[in-house]
């Protein structure tokens, strides 16, 4: 079984300033530069045959390159259930179209529909028993985040596996836009 997701990699010139914000929350597991991405579609655990079918469907996606910006920060969860802090993605119709195309490709490959609403973001840290006041202070200190526009001319199919230090990702296939 392979654990997969489709995503856009965050370019180094956009990611390095994000790394500078990775402080101020005790116990946060901050994500390294190579793990920063915008998920288009979480696939989950699939057989190699299903992964091959998905790859063929993702290759069929036809869309022009587009620009994206990151803006604001936030968290998932509340109180004792806080579990991540993130950088948001500015509203983008091309991004939503690409995510929808990845969803359609997944369904054509035989996967069940995603039931969660699409909320594009870049996970900066996973939290475990973090102090809600520290998280709120971090959000206040970083909420004016606004990156320069960066070009999106490709996306990838990534595999994920868990380690003691957190999830690790490997690019399995890359798909060019345009």
Q: Are 55 and 173 in contact (CB under 8 A)?
A: yes
Tell me the two tokens of residue 16. Answer: 């390095």
Residues classed as catalytic: 37, 121
CA distance 151 to 46: 30
Supply the pTM of this predicted model: 0.95
Number of domains composing the chain: 1
Contact 104, 58 (CB under 8 A): no
pLDDT (tens place) for every residue of the chain, 178 residues total: 999 999 999 999 999 999 999 999 999 999 999 999 999 999 999 999 999 999 999 999 999 999 999 999 999 999 889 999 999 999 999 999 999 999 999 999 999 999 999 999 999 999 998 999 999 999 999 999 999 999 999 999 999 988 877 789 999 999 999 9
CATH code of residue 140: 3.90.1140.10
Q: What is the pLDDT of residue 79?
A: 87
Q: How far is CA 160 from CA 3, 5, 7, 167, in A?
A: 5, 8, 12, 6
What local confidence, expressed as pLDDT, does residue 71 receive? 98
| Per-residue confidence (pLDDT) for residue 80, from 0 to 100 | 83
Neighbours of 19 (CB within 10 A): 15
Q: What is the pLDDT of residue 162?
A: 85
Residue of 37, 116, 28 lying closest to 70 (CA atoms)? 37
pLDDT at site 91: 98
Spatial distance between the Cα atoms of 4 and 46, rounded to a whole number of angstroms: 8
Query: What range defines the domain where residue 64 resides?
Result: 2-176
- Measured from the Cβ of residue 38, the count of other Cβ atoms closer than 10 Å reads 22
Burial (CB count within 10 angstroms: exposed 0-12, middle 13-18, buried 19+), residue 122: buried
């Amino acid at each position: 079984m392979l654990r997969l997701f489709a995503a856009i990699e965050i370019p180094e010139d956009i990611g390095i300033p994000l790394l500078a914000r990775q402080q101020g929350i005790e116990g946060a597991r901050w994500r390294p530069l190579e793990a920063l991405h915008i998920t288009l579609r979480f696939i989950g655990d699939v057989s190699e045959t299903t992964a091959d079918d998905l790859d063929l469907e993702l290759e069929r996606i036809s869309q022009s390159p587009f620009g994206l910006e990151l803006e604001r920060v936030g968290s998932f969860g509340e109180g004792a259930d806080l579990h991540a802090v993130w950088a948001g993605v500015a509203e983008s119709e091309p991004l939503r179209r690409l995510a929808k195309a990845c969803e359609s490709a997944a369904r054509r490959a035989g996967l069940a529909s995603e039931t969660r609403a699409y909320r594009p973001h870049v996970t900066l840290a996973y939290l475990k028993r973090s102090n809600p006041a520290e998280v709120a202070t971090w959000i206040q200190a970083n909420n004016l985040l606004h990156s320069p526009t960066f070009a999106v001319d490709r996306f990838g199919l990534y595999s994920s596996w868990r380690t003691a230090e957190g999830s690790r990702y490997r690019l399995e296939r890359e798909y060019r836009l345009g």
